Amino acid sequence: MDSDVTERLFADDAGIARAAALLAAGESVAFPTETVYGLGADARNGAAVARVYAAKGRPAFNPLIVHVADLRAARQLVHFTDQAERLAAEFWPGPLTLVLPLREGHGIASIVTAGLPTLGVRVPAGDAAQALLRAFGGPVAAPSANPSGRISPTTADHVLDGLSGRIAAVLDGGACGVGIESTIVGEDPGGAPVLLRPGGVASEAIEAALATPLTRPVAGDLPSAPGQLASHYAPRAAVRLNAQEAREGELLLGFGAVRGDMSLSETGDPQEAAARLFDMLHRLDTTGRPIAVAPIPETGLGAALNDRLRRAAAPRDS
């Protein structure tokens, strides 16, 4: 059942306790992580998870990431390979999702994985996320807390703009520090690590930790990250990439030497740009004017930024 009024909870002890109680009661609750706000539900409760899909208008073939408080909890859900152990040790808690084979008796509702034999799992950093996961004491399935296909939320206000009245509550923990979704790493049938989605951990850092290059999924070799639809993260207005200057009517989102109407990072720092990207897209989106974006180098978090921007600029179905 969708709630008519969405509660706004502050991330103090009382707010965390209330959010955990709502999750336990099968409600959907948005909460901050270090990457973006997630829309959480008890991952063992299929009806609760169905409410998340309904609130977002998300296609049910697109599986969700499960969030747990620590590695010990993750081990109860999935089988860890040696390289997954290494990545978890290096990057958890943090913006990395590992896609690994489900264990027997995992207890995760099948709607979470869309029937896949694997699970995307991560241990988020961030005090509010950690406090909520510990207070709730179970696995929380959570996609980004935005209507499907729209810009991801990095503040509680963004969440309410998109989902107010459709979810039970939002836990307000301020702005997300990383600002872009987690990097998703899986394994191919031969066990080689595959980059399923660039994100908050630079792929170069993962390759360094594994001392192995990451491969990219081969088209047709899906489901890899089925959520990687071409048009995604889309503002209402048109988006044009690699712009040096604004054309008639456009607002220019700058980077480095390209100043623009607002800048993702005047110093050309991709990490700062990641933390600002979705908030700036949300703000530009309220103007209804077409958006031009300055070029961003493809290194480090630049790869994740460009991935999100290409999807924001892709042709829309409707």
Binding residues for L-threonine: 35, 67, 122, 142, 182
The CB-of-81 to ligand TXA minimum distance in angstroms stands at 15
Q: How far apart, in whole angstroms, are the C-alpha atoms of residue 132 and residue 40? A: 10
Kindly tell me which of 154 and 263 has the beta carbon lying closer to Mg ion: 154
From the annotation, which residues make up the binding site?
35, 58, 62, 67, 118, 122, 142, 144, 152, 182, 197, 233
User: Which DSSP symbol is given to 182?
Assistant: P
140 binds, among ligand TXA, Mg ion, none (CB under 5 to 8 A by kind): none
Question: Which residues of the shown chain bind ligand TXA in the complex (CB under 6 A)?
Answer: 33, 35-36, 38, 62-65, 95, 97, 99, 113, 116, 118-120, 124, 142-144, 181-182, 184, 186, 196-197, 223-228
Q: How far is the CB of 278 from ligand TXA (least distance, A)?
A: 11
Q: How far apart are CA 314 and CA 287, in angstroms?
A: 20
Q: If binding is defined by CB under 5 A, does position 97 make contact with Mg ion?
A: no
The 3-state DSSP class for residue 161 equals: helix
- Strands 140-141 and 118-122, bridge-based pairing: unpaired
- At how many degrees (to 10) do helices 270-285 and 156-163 cross? 40
260-267 long-range contacts, CB within 8 A, separation 24+: 260/292, 260/294, 264/294, 264/296, 264/305
Residues 207-246 that bind Mg ion (CB under 5 A): none
179 touches, from Mg ion, ligand TXA, none (C-beta below 5 to 8 Å by class): none
By CB under 5 A, the count of residues binding Mg ion is: 1
Nearest approach in angstroms of CB 46 to ligand TXA is 16
Cβ atoms 209, 46 nearer than 8 A: no
Least distance to ligand TXA, CB of residue 63, Å: 4
The smaller minimum CB distance to ligand TXA, of residues 33 and 265, is found at: 33
Smaller CB separation from Mg ion, 144 or 182: 144
> CA-CA distance, 48 to 58, in Å (whole number)?
14
Q: For Mg ion, which is the closer residue by CB, 180 or 258?
A: 180
In total, the chain counts a number of residues equal to 318
| CB-CB contact of 66 with 43 (8 Å) | yes
Binding site for ATP, by residue number, is 58, 62, 118, 144, 152, 197, 233
Q: Which of Mg ion, ligand TXA, none does residue 36 bind (CB under 5 to 8 Å by kind)?
A: ligand TXA
Considering only 113, 144, 154, 265, the residue that binds Mg ion (CB under 5 A) is: 144
The distance of closest approach from Cβ of residue 3 to ligand TXA in the complex, given in angstroms and rounded to an integer, is 20
User: Which residue is nearest to Mg ion, using beta carbons?
Assistant: 144
Rounded CA gap, 143 and 154, in Å? 13
The DSSP line for 31-70 is: EE-SSSEEEEEETT-HHHHHHHHHHHT--TTS--EEE-SS
Contact residues toward Mg ion (CB under 5 A) are 144
